[in-house]
Amino acid sequence: MHDYLVPPADVTGHDPKTAPWRTEYDVLTTVRDQLQHDVHVLGVKDDLGGIRQANEEFKPHIAFNLLEAFHEVGTFDQNVVAYLELLRLAYTGCNPRGMLLARDKALSKKLLHYHRIRVPEFAVVRMGRKPRLSTRFQFPVIVKSLTQEASIGISQASVIDDDTKLRERVQFIHESVRTDAIIEEYIEGRELYVGIIGNQRLQALPTWEMKFKNMPDDQHRIATERVKWNLKYQKRMGIETDEAALDPALDAKVAHLARRVYQTLEMSGYARVDLRMNAQGDMYVLEANPNPQIAELEDFALSADLAGIDYAALLQRIISIGMRWEPERLG
């Protein structure tokens, strides 16, 4: 886990369910206290030496990977997983190739489009370049970071309806988020999430939906950074996630689509696939997120619980799947 997210030994005075280290706390206490595994907690900053030392001294059967970045660079986490493979140390979560393919929103969309999986029209604007949209684009569009996750850089201002605002928003992503920008066709509709667990044999968890009960009509119903992380805003706008109310045939179609995405991007361990469904029932894949949040009260774990997999059983399954992963068989 990140060195600054190691839970304190004494949590008196803290609320473990809202603390920044809630995921780390939930995983640690469940794996250690309920599942009764021997656990060595390793806080990682910008040095791989600690991982090698822990591997040599503690001799773990598996590393439970909770890193979301390395050296504070989000896309470097795949390199840490590759290092675990070089050490021949089993790990939980997605393999480095799956992480690479999924994290690049443009590359993943190209792969999905090739396999005839519907994605929004898109264009990439590299750092320092200005946007030039082809004739296939129609406003509105949405502008995002090409590689950042957790809705970083996404706000109501991300949905654009003219060229001037488009140039301004792309410049904002370049200068504030410090990544390339991706422009996507904006899909009006329902925001759906599907959790997937497995390597070759995959289980799709119940479809989840983000609901915007009190959102004003002039606001776009999208998962902005504020929507995801501001609890007061969530309560005021009636934003919550829960099981999607879909008829069984449509629900099965969504689950099948999510498994296809997972396989196409060569993912493993566990992941979440994000989709938008328009009023006609057409589904567009927005992105796939390897190693999503797995705190006990986060969507992934709640969806698993609805499927009859309680939190301890979910973590044990993630561990068991990691133990069975064989990197040399990839490809």
| pLDDT digit string (tens) for the chain, length 331 residues | 999 999 999 999 999 998 999 999 999 999 999 999 999 999 999 899 999 999 999 999 999 999 998 887 777 899 999 999 999 999 999 999 999 999 888 999 999 999 999 999 999 999 989 998 888 888 899 998 887 765 666 888 889 898 899 999 999 999 988 889 999 999 999 999 999 999 989 999 999 998 877 777 777 887 777 766 667 777 777 778 889 999 999 999 999 999 999 999 999 999 999 999 999 999 999 999 999 999 999 999 999 999 999 999 999 999 999 999 887 665 4
Question: Which ranges in the chain are annotated with CATH 3.30.1490.20?
Answer: 119-185
Mapped to the 3 state alphabet, what secondary structure does the chain carry?
Answer: CEHHHCCCCCCCCCCCCCCCCHHHHHHHHHHHHHCCCCCCCCCECCCCHHHHHHHHHHCCCEECCCCCCECCEHHHHHHHHHHHHHCCCEECCCCHHHHHHHHCHHHHHHHHHHCCCCCCCEEEECCCCCCCCCCCCCCCEEEEECCCCCCCCCCHHHEECCHHHHHHHHHHHHHHHCCCEEEEECCCCEEEEEEEEECCCEEECCCEEEEECCCCCCCCCCCCHHHHHCHHHHHHHCEEEEECCCCHHHHHHHHHHHHHHHHHCCCCCEEEEEEEECCCCCEEEEEEEECCCCCCCCHHHHHHHHCCCCHHHHHHHHHHHHHHCCHHHCC
| The model scores a pTM over 0.85 | yes
Q: Does domain 189-329 have CATH number 3.40.50.2300?
A: no
The domain covering 119-185 belongs, at the CATH homologous superfamily level, to ATP-grasp fold, A domain (3.30.1490.20)
